[in-house]
Amino acid sequence: MTFKALIASVSFLLLAGCATNNQFVVAEYEKIVEEKFPPISVYYQTPPDELRQFCNVYKEKSALHDCFTNIIDLENFYDEFNDSKLFENVYYAEKDVDFKVLISTANYYHSSGADLGRAAIAGATLLLAPLTNPQDIKVEAAITWKDHVIQRYQYDIPFTAKASLFSTNRNPESDMAKSIASYLMKSFQESEVFTPEFLSKEIESSNYSDELTLPEFVGEYQFSEDIIFHNPLNGVVNRYTHQEFLFDYVDVFVYPVRHWDLNNGKALIEREIGIIKNEIDLLLQESNSSKAEFDEPEFYSVNSTEGKVSFAALSGDYLTEEKQRYKTVIYLYQEEDKFIKFRSTFEADAALGRQIKTFVDEVAGKIQVPEESLFMAQIRQSWRENALEPL
């Protein structure tokens, strides 16, 4: 048996299930977080040309060199991300998840004369004598959102696999994945790659943090918080809370019109009202509440300093699982390429409907929305090219 074949065969034993006591680095990252990362799906990435070329060049340098790509089972990476509890959910090669983590690796090592001696002894004693296999792992990883690459990461990580029949710890593949995943999670936290702000910058969608203008006070209500959704099609929700009665609130949603024809305002609003009703029913179904009973939507206009604002108003009642009756009211209008939606939900006997309408009428025309983003312009162009007819 040649030297390289001997080393390769023992290295295979190291990677194929012998009990191990490996030496590797685990990067430090925050393990307890207030807000989890969004769901991810973990995939193998076909080794990039540069990584394959590196392996080929490295192996050609010497008979003592070897390099293998993607030898770490993907399930090991899934386990590490899932066990971290940093994500809302982790999926194994699930295509319908917005964020994907793509990973490719190259394990490379240089065997020396000392390695030959250790390998020969280990082979002769059937691994009664311990064997060490120092190596390095090149890692190429990418984060995609709906198949748009938004960030890439590269690492060169040292790893020493050890094996003997007397050691009792984890196998090398699992420990390799543990080390690599720790570097990735540290980078995720440092680069803030999963934040809506990072995503909006990378795909050039609307920047609601800097470009949306809202009044701080509306009557007895005060702006209290906002949530920017990861999916740019969902925009942002801004909550206004009554200064005295904290259970009394109005949520103001700002999000893109999901259609290419922005000029037929009433048809767009009627279409969106139907979508809103379906969304509410899905939410109620998930909470085991009854299906909402909606009144017919009403259309009206309000004169503001910026001109006439045309609204649609919708209200409905439903019963919770505990048989409590609630009322939800929705107001909707279009501003440039965005919808502005007001929603408040309260106990049916609270009679807050008139108060919510006063809030809406006062805000009308005072919200300045971001202009159409490049991201939405491109999406609408695609919709336009595939549409048979306008609204």
Give dist(CA 225, CA 217) in Å, integer.
Answer: 13
Q: Assign 254 a pLDDT band (cuts: 50, 70, 90).
A: very high
In the predicted model, is pLDDT for residue 64 greater than 60? yes
Q: Assign 313 a pLDDT band (cuts: 50, 70, 90).
A: very high
What percent helix, strand, coil does the chain show, rounded to 5?
35, 35, 30
Task: Name 88's Cβ contacts closer than 8 Å, sequence gap at least 6.
Answer: 36, 37, 38, 39
- Tell me the mean pLDDT in the region 179-189: 97
Residue 129 carries which DSSP code?
A: S
- Tell me the mean pLDDT in the region 253-257: 97
In the predicted model, is pLDDT for residue 164 greater than 70? no
Strands 40-44 and 90-92: parallel
Model confidence over 258-288: pLDDT tens digits?
Answer: 999 998 888 999 999 999 999 999 999 989 9
Q: Assign 352 a pLDDT band (cuts: 50, 70, 90).
A: confident
Q: What is the pLDDT of residue 6?
A: 45
Greater model confidence, 119 or 219? 219
- Tell me the mean pLDDT in the region 346-375: 90
Model confidence over 122-138: pLDDT tens digits?
Answer: 444 444 445 677 899 99
Q: Assign 245 a pLDDT band (cuts: 50, 70, 90).
A: confident
% the chain with pLDDT above 70: 86
Q: What is the value of pTM for the model shown?
A: 0.81
Model confidence over 197-206: pLDDT tens digits?
Answer: 999 999 999 9
Q: What is the pLDDT of residue 295?
A: 93
